[in-house]
Chains A and B, each alone.
Chain A
Amino acid sequence: MAEAAAAKTSYQGQMHLLQKEIMGRYFERLTRAAEQGDGKAVYMLISGNPVELVHAFDMVPVYPEINALQLAVKKVALPFIQKAEEIGYSMDNCAYVKADVGMFLGDRKTPFATIPLPALILCNYVGCNVYLQWFEHLAENCDGEIYNLDVPFLRDPSGVPSKEDVEYVVKQLEEVIEVCERLTGKKLDWAKFKRIVALSGETGELWSKIKALTKNVPSPYDAYFDSVTMMAPLYCLRGTEDGLRFFETALKEMEEKVRMGTGPLPKERFRFVIEGPPPWPFLKTFRDMFSKWGAVAVASTYSTVGGLWEFGFKHDANRPLESIAQHMLQWNVTNRDFRQRYAQIERYVNEWSADALVIHSVKSCRLFSAGQGDMREYFTKELDVPTLLIESDIEDPRYFSEAQLKNRIDAFFESLEHRKLTRDKRLAGGKV
């Protein structure tokens, strides 16, 4: 493996720099809200977030998941996790929650922002049951008002929510509007709200175009490791001019790469689909394990946790509440069952021309992981897609076993290389 030697790669582009800038401004806004009382904070969860409503009231969206992942990326999560375990949380509880609660119970100062206390704890319960507990626990430890926005799970084989499901979510969104009106002391400006939803529509469309670009060979960017760079603006700044500009810039940059025939690695040798959240505390180490093999993720389910735009969904400013309800109910991976997730992955494998599926199973997030052995069974046995199942964690650095992961990944790509070789020979009419 001579080519594998050039493993350490720098993955910075224009899009990454702009992301740092606008997310820096977002975190400054959180700090201003926390330290100067400039703006009321609304805590929300990433999955199917209704950020448009929060922006319409000029409230400050805060995502405890982003707090947790930033703590992990900055490698400061473990003391918070341990603090939570000392006060009664289990080793087996989701470490996202533990890191965030550990931080929340202190002075809420982090290396990236000071996190404001919430005026509203808006538990948009989209798929993940731990969300309910996470926000209950935050609510028990502060004076913020809690509202459980219950989003029925997609449970019809058609993958479409019922009329009653949509009505139920719309009615609750109307109640959330009333709560925000009471907390801010102002009425919802519907014209402004519709403009925000229209901006979200445009942003989602750009994101969906960006995601289609990885169908190109080589793929212009890594749909896992680089997608996560785009996900933060998608959730925090969707519905704002800043957010829209970011996605315009990102699309232009990626289209240019397609024209130039360049990608994130010197040479693309394998294309894979990846399922599951990343190991935030060791993101670059993990990425390098694939880069050394010239392996690029061309699609990822994780990049659809906050919304699934690439299969045709677009926010509609003429039906703002209904389309937010549709986004929450139908158009994100977390509210879909395994059958629908399998179908999504199958589509990625076929339409994005992938050689393999990598399942990254994380202990913390059982929504994603519980039962992924069945997924491996389905993809290897029913569809003959080479599949690798590896385990670590999204937040807790104690569950990342570098040597073991490296061995598994190396063995997998070695066998994939062999498989490719024999297939190429067969296609060329040679002897296998």
Chain B
Amino acid sequence: MTLEDIVSRYRDPLESDPLELMREWKKSHPDTKLIGCYPVYTPVEFIHAAGMLPVGVIGGGNRLEIAHADSRFQSFVCSIVKSTLELGLTGKLDFLDGIIFHSICDPARNLGSVFTRNFPRLLVEYIHFPQNMTSPHTVNYLTAEYRRLITGYEQLAGRTITDDAIRRSLRIYNEQRRLLRELYAIRAQTPQNVSAVESYVVSRLATLLPPEEHIAMLKDALATVRARDEKPKDRIKVVLEGSFCEQPPLELIEGLEAAGCYLLDDDFLTGWRFFVEDIPVEGDPVHNLAEAYLRRSVYSGVKHDTRERKAKHLIDRIKETGAAAALILSAKFCEPALFDYALYKPALEKEGIPHLFLEFEEKMWIFDKARSEVETFVESMLFD
């Protein structure tokens, strides 16, 4: 399957109702248990090693009407919290056997509690990810946290999750993440050969399809991209940051590029390509995954690392890729992203790196305003 085939087959389903793909999948695999994974990062290996399938529950897109969830979560709470609850309240998560939330922000954590009360049928798990990245004791804590999670999934799956099974899953997800890193590396070098939308479609499928199937697809996509030799357009090169949880509509991503940018890098779906290198398979795989969270993971606005200044990773990335500007695309009401911006802004200004700040909502329909802001920004740079 070429990249063009993948996009033409999957773009529409991903835009209209991404989870419908998995509801259909479940019909032909009635015995496989499915675990929903809320953003940002989930150690999916444990779910996979139990013979279950992790499925990214990453909002409801812009075609889902919010009719019930807004009476539970207030107007000042972000869209993804509400759309996820709406999916649950309207029976659209009935195909799941469990769902997992994490300590990423206060609304997401409270959503986990609300799920527990409203959907007693689901196994609702919650990971407290450590926020002390400097203590030598943290890795033991996180290993214990992962072992606790494993026990819960063993009960749900009705089987023991052996270290060997985790190693097998780790190898598979290592490969998937490695291929995604390759795709991103190509985009950073030759953005004319793979658009942000194409990259997004392929990456989003990583959150849905069984990884074995997705790896084959990724290899095909990479083959297509490597065979392309497009001429670069007159666009400015930017690094996009701030969309690590709630996801912008595909039309918005497309609009950003059409307005005159090449997105050399972004943090879309960052939890599904969370590591800068492969996680070691030998030894205690649970400990290895915990250690990787602390030492081998990418920057995340929900992982607070006091070892370096907030904007360092962003400025480094801009310099490494040769981007000319930063595009901060934050979900409306997303406190982690909005707080980060307050530190990015002075740091980028100090470095003399131009930036544009935009807010989006997954449910947004109208993109004219965002597009014209980007166009103005691009023009100001091209004709400066």
Contacts and interface: CB of A to CB of B under 8 A. Distances in A.
Interface of A: 84, 87-90, 92-94, 97, 125, 127-130, 132-133, 136-137, 139-140, 146-150, 152-153, 155, 162, 164-165, 167-168, 171-172, 175, 337-339, 342, 361, 363, 366-367, 369-374, 377-378, 391
A81 B302 CA distance: 24
A132 B128 CA distance: 14
B132 A371 contact: no
B333 interface: yes
Interface in B113-139: 113-114, 116-118, 126, 128, 130-135, 137-138
B339 A153 contact: no
Interface stretch (B23-31, B42-50, B70-78, B195-203): B70-78
A39 to B, nearest CB: 24
A165 B137 CA distance: 11
Interface string B67-85: 0001111101100010000
Nearest to A399: B76
A391 B132 contact: no
Given A149-B132, A369-B74, A171 B310 contact: no
B310 A140 contact: yes
A371 B113 contact: yes
18 contacts: A87-B346, A93-B338, A127-B106, A129-B109, A133-B335, A147-B134, A148-B131, A148-B134, A150-B132, A168-B138, A171-B135, A172-B137, A363-B74, A371-B77, A371-B114, A373-B74, A374-B72, A378-B117
Contact of A162 (B72, B107, B134, B148): B148
B97 to A, nearest CB: 18
B360 to A, nearest CB: 13
B304 A132 contact: yes
Contacts of B145: 152, 164
A136 to B, nearest CB: 6
A371 B338 CA distance: 20
A408 to B, nearest CB: 15
Q: Interface size bucket, B side?
A: 35 or more
A164 B128 CA distance: 13
Contact of A153 (B105, B114, B128, B335): B128
A172 B132 contact: yes
Nearest to B112: A337
B131 A93 contact: no
Contacts of A367: 106, 110
Interface string B134-166: 110110110011001000000000000000000
Given A150-B131, A171-B135, A171-B137, A366 B335 contact: yes
Given A132-B304, A339-B116, A373-B73, A87 B135 contact: no
A140 B308 CA distance: 10
Interface in B52-68: none
Contact of B140 (A89, A168, A175, A378): A168
Given A128-B106, A133-B304, A337-B112, A140 B137 contact: no
Contact of A371 (B110, B126, B344): B110
Contact of A88 (B81, B302, B341): B341
B111 A162 contact: no
Contacts of A338: 110, 113-114, 116-117
Contacts of A89: 338-339, 342
Contacts of A137: 339, 342-343
A98 to B, nearest CB: 9
Contact of A94 (B110, B148, B335): B335
Nearest to A168: B141
B219 interface: no
B74 A88 contact: no
A150 B360 CA distance: 31
Contact of B336 (A133, A140, A153): A133
A150 to B, nearest CB: 4
B128 A93 contact: no
A93 B330 CA distance: 13
A357 B333 CA distance: 28
Contacts of A139: 306
Given A88-B345, A93-B342, A136-B306, A172 B135 contact: yes
Name the 6 nearest CB pairs between A and B, nearest first: A338-B113, A370-B107, A164-B144, A150-B132, A373-B72, A88-B345
A209 to B, nearest CB: 31
Contacts of B9: none
A31 B109 CA distance: 38
Given A150-B138, A338-B117, A373-B72, A129 B106 contact: yes
A221 B55 CA distance: 52
A152 B141 contact: yes
B369 interface: no
Given A153-B126, A164-B144, A130 B132 contact: no
A337 B116 CA distance: 10
Contacts of A87: 342, 345-346
Given A338-B110, A373-B73, A125 B131 contact: yes
B104 interface: yes
B103 interface: yes
Contacts of A94: 335
A370 B77 contact: yes
A149 B131 CA distance: 8
A97 B339 CA distance: 10
Nearest to A128: B106
Interface string B285-318: 0000000000000000010101001100000000
B343 to A, nearest CB: 6
Contacts of A374: 72-73, 114, 117-118
B171 interface: no
B332 interface: yes
B338 A150 contact: no
A140 B309 contact: yes
Contact of A133 (B109, B137, B339, B344): B339
Nearest to A152: B128
A205 B104 CA distance: 35
Contacts of A391: 74
A164 B140 contact: yes
Contacts of A361: 74
Nearest to A341: B113
